[in-house]
Structure 1
């Protein structure tokens, strides 16, 4: 792997870990309590919408996966040549496929959480669901910020996936992969 590709991979993985952990923490810690009818207090938590706990778990698992991949980057930094570490060369397909699974899973759970949160904002008269965000505005703003962080994490994971594709297919092409031809 080229020097720029290794540095870029480390940077993207660290950014992805930070954004995924931030998303999971913002969603998991989003709570707001309102007093209803003088004696009854109602607390809104992330467990009120079924998609939000799934988002927390998936983001945690993908952050852990990226942490493991980050440790792999540090091991491969010691292996200057792929001849010394043939196992790392053979695992390129596994890394590529796992990166693809991570991207699609994080994006799908973020979209599902957004859809569930949209029902909390707009409500549904047909199903007799009231709007939650009229009463729990701080909770809804915090979950909205977390979803924005989730989409940012998805974009970083897509960039990481592009780098994974580059690292995979450069092993099957000539030595001057993606270099401009010199003028003659």
Structure 2
């Protein structure tokens, strides 16, 4: 039951992150005639973040459905679930970190490459992306807790009868 609530919370955070990034855009009029629109497609790391968070949310939903339809787990299925939980947690963290690195360049600029500070012109866009990244890192923390609970469930299968049990039955 604990992992169900955590998976639902992680799924909602992942969907919120993907939606905040994907639907964020801001249009500015530059030089009285040029219209420029900032969106997540301008930075490849943000595009990848949308896809990774969407896939991770789908994985969590599928895992919830699997656990409701087939509550019994054997050792092979437990190993597979543990490794997938680890992979998804690390993938979500990597995608959020890559997006954060790209956003730091948008905030501070990089004069050596001739990149201007994007967030000076598109402040609402940058604030919304910052909120999305905070939701993404919260999802990373929840996925890490889910992964540790998955490890506990796996290694409990290898323990003696009463060794790794929290409650006596």
Q: Say which SS state the counterpart of residue 119 (structure 2) adopts.
A: coil
Q: Say which SS state the counterpart of residue 156 (structure 2) adopts.
A: helix
- Which residue of structure 2 lines up, in the alignment, with residue 4 of structure 1? none
In the alignment, is residue 19 of structure 1 matched against residue 5 of structure 2? no
Say what the alpha-carbon RMSD is for the aligned residues: 1.4
Unaligned runs of 5+ in 1: 1-6, 83-87
Tell me how many residue pairs correspond in the alignment.
Answer: 166
Bigger Rg over Cα: 1
- Which residue of structure 2 lines up, in the alignment, with residue 150 of structure 1? 136
Please give the TM-score of this superposition, normalised by the length of structure 1.
0.87
Post-superposition CA distance 1:102-128 (Å, at most 9, x none) = 000000010000000000000001000
Post-superposition CA distance 1:49-105 (Å, at most 9, x none) = 11000000000011101000000121234xxxx4xxxxx313000000000000000
Choose the corresponding residue for 1:161, options 113, 123, 147: 147
8 Å contact 2:25–2:40 — kept in the other structure?
yes
- Which residue of structure 1 lines up, in the alignment, with residue 28 of structure 2? 34
**C-alpha distance in 1, partners of 2:136/2:53?**
8
**C-alpha distance in 2, partners of 1:46/1:12?**
28
Give 1:145 shift.
0.3
**C-alpha distance in 2, partners of 1:179/1:70?**
23
Unaligned runs of 5+ in 2: none
**C-alpha distance in 2, partners of 1:76/1:25?**
31
Please give the TM-score of this superposition, normalised by the length of structure 2.
0.95
Q: Say which SS state the counterpart of residue 153 (structure 1) adopts.
A: helix
1:35-184 correspondence runs (5 A)? 35-77=29-71, 82=72, 88-89=73-74, 90-179=76-165
